[in-house]
Amino acid sequence: MNDLRKLVRYFRPYRFSLAIAISCIMAGVIFNVSIPLVVGRAIDANWTEVNWTKLTIAALQVLGLSAMSGLFLFLQRSIINRISRHIEYDLRQDFYIHLVDQPQSFFHEHRTGDLMARATNDLAAVRQLVGPMIMYGLQTVFVVLVLVPLLFKINWKLTLLLFVTMPLVSLTVKIFGQQVHVRFEKIQDFFAQITARAQENFTGVRVVRAYAQEGAEIAAFNRLNWEYAEKNLSLVRIDAMMRPLMTFLIGIGFVLIIWAGVPLAVRGEISVGQFFEFNMYLLRLIWPLIAIGYVVNLYQRGTASWKRMQTIMTIKPAIADGPAVKEQPPIAGRIEFRDLTFRYHPTSEPVLQDIDLIIEAGQTIAFVGRTGSGKSTLVNLIPRVLEAAPHSLLVDGVPVAEYPLAQLRAAIGYVPQETFLFSNALDRNIAFGVDEAKRGAIERAAEIAGLDDDVRDFPDGFDTLVGERGITLSGGQKQRTAIARAVLREPRILILDDALSSVDTFTEEKILTRLRGVMRERTSIIVSHRISTVRQADMICVLDDGRIIERGTHEELLARAGEYKDLYERQLLEEELAAT
């Protein structure tokens, strides 16, 4: 129930439109149920002798009432459907914003395909809940509230006969409605699995093809797809049984009315016109009674989908601005680690231990070490991709958690290990994160990143579409595009996390030469496995098992003959072996 209260809040901006729609539903019902009254009176007035004047007036009244009923039906449908589309827009916007605000760990725990299923299939079911279900539900309520007193007024005995089948209709709706809810929830969960499987195959299409697994993946998807179809067919069978059963129960009500009503008309307890009027009212009850099943179906589907969406929307971002966070002075770039220890989970072993380090504004610092030593984890703490312990990481003397996330990240240019490019033009990928980037600035950033020669070879230059995840570019081109993206922002802090691993040493040296002019103007942090990438840094820190075991310049570390010198000599040997 609390979940539905959250959904009701989305109606607040549209409450005036909703009130108009409800008024239209009520007016439409009144005009519609007035038609049997006119017909019944016309029959009684013309039963013994036809009066063409009265008959014509009655016909015109029926036409007028039908026209007004149709007008209000149009208005209620257009207004409610418009409201449901606006609420769908609001929900999709909120769901998207909620996902964007989540930290990286959230997406490690939730599959992309599952999130996409909730944002599409589940959201569509919720729209049916706030649109058609409300419309048909209110129509049903108003028709019953208006018709039942009118039926009692014509003849209370005939009306009571209707209540013989009513409990059976309600029982049918209850039993089948529960089945619909349970099965639809399982179907939506399974649809998320199919979406996730398809998304993984499309993203990893190169791997699938490289290992010639097209047939195996098609067969696996076919199994999932067939199981999904079977689950849907089980729901179809429930729905197919519910509606005919309700129609049959309603038909029994008609039989009882004819069986008991005709003798009443013959005996004169009701007029022929009233008998026709009663049956016309009963005909108008058929759709609302059948609609009960449809409404319950939409309700069960919608609530099941809303519950699935709420399981995501109620997850609070692990990394977010605190209530007391306020704008800080412009960031200069001084970074300080104070006895920093970091664990991914409170009970796990520390990934970083006792990190004490000061990086002055404008310095270039490098981190090297074996795979798994904690280099990427350390730099991910600065833009709060990961959350450091309170007061263990400061920027310009202010704990990073006291900066608004927008201000902190706007001051950082970050090139992560895994480069991600959007399915867009190359210049748009470089300009991502900059509101208004001029072509000259984009070209300059590309030149600094060593991408200019490649762009000249592209048929459409900077307008070249790079494809999803940059699939049309090589690994080195993608990395250089990401470097250009970071440089274009002109950040106060530049972080390059193994950003040159996919380029050869010649291209690396060319890029570093151009980058040095940029790095002199800002705090720069370089993470690399290559000694050649970091040798010009103001200070090099060697990490091992989450600790800084050595620090100094390239020459100082070589002179110490420690871990850094071992790495250096090993890489020299590898280069010599590769050359031979």
Residues of the chain above pLDDT 90, percent:
11
How far apart are alpha carbons 571 and 580 in whole angstroms?
Answer: 14
pLDDT confidence of residue 272: 77
- Say which range, 207-221, 301-315, 346-360, 402-416, has the weakest mean pLDDT: 207-221
* Predicted pLDDT of residue 78: 92
Report the predicted TM-score, pTM, of the whole model to 2 decimal places. Answer: 0.72
pLDDT tops 90 at residue 19: yes
Half-sphere exposure of 440 (CA within 13 A, CB side): 0
- Mean pLDDT across 475-502: 83
Contacts 24+ apart (CB under 8 A), 97-100: 98/312, 98/313, 99/312
- Residue 90: band (very low, low, confident or very high) from pLDDT cuts 50, 70, 90: very high
Average pLDDT of the segment spanning 197-222: 72
What number does CATH give the domain 7-313? 1.20.1560.10
* Lowest-confidence region among 128-132, 202-206, 428-432: 202-206
Q: What is the pLDDT of residue 467?
A: 67
Q: For the residues 167-186, what does the mean pLDDT come to?
A: 71
Write down the pLDDT at residue 458. 81
Q: Which residue has the tokens 């800002």?
A: 522
**DSSP secondary structure, 400-443, as one string:** GGGS-HHHHHHTEEEE-SS----SSBHHHHHTTT-SS--HHHHH
What is the structure's pLDDT at 259? 78
pLDDT at residue 482 in the model: 85
For 504-553, write each residue's pLDDT tens digit. 777 777 777 777 777 777 898 988 877 878 888 889 999 988 899 989 98
Q: Supply the pLDDT for residue 76.
A: 92
| More confidently predicted of 41 and 365 | 365
Residue 203's pLDDT is what?
Answer: 66
Mean pLDDT of 50-59: 76
Q: What is the mean pLDDT of residues 226-233?
A: 82
Query: pLDDT: is 291 or 148 the higher one?
Result: 148
Q: Quick one: average pLDDT of 315-319?
A: 81
Among 205-209, 231-235, 549-553, name the most confident range: 549-553
Q: Return the pLDDT at 40.
A: 77
- In this structure, of 130-139, 190-199, 544-553, 558-567, the range with the lowest mean pLDDT score is 190-199
pLDDT at position 25, please? 92
Candidate from 16-20, 41-45, 447-451, 460-464 with smallest mean pLDDT: 41-45
pLDDT mean across residues, the chain = 82
Contacts 24+ apart (CB under 8 A), 169-174: 169/246, 169/249, 169/250, 169/289, 169/292, 172/242, 172/245, 172/246, 172/249, 172/293, 173/242, 173/246, 173/292, 173/293, 173/296
Q: What digits encode the pLDDT tens for the residues 179-189?
A: 776 777 777 77
Distance between first and last Cα of the chain: 72
Q: What is the pLDDT of residue 22?
A: 92
pLDDT cut 70: percent of the chain above it: 92
- At residue 484, the pLDDT reads 86
pLDDT at 1 > cutoff 60: no
Q: What pLDDT score was predicted for residue 300?
A: 81
Q: What pLDDT, on the 0 to 100 scale, is given for residue 470?
A: 64
For residue 49, what pLDDT is reported?
65
Do the domains 335-579 and 7-313 match in fold?
Answer: no
The class (CATH top level) of 335-579 is: alpha beta
* Strand order through the sheet with 393-395: 352-359, 335-342, 393-395, 398-399
Q: Is 501 helix (H, G, I), strand (E, B) or coil?
A: coil
* Domain assignments of the chain as residue spans, ordered by start: 7-313, 335-579
When pLDDT is averaged across residues 399-420 and rounded to a whole number, the result is: 86
State the Cα–Cα distance between residues 58 and 9, nearest whole angstrom: 46
pLDDT tens readout for residues 114-160: 788 788 888 888 898 888 888 888 888 898 888 888 888 888 888 78
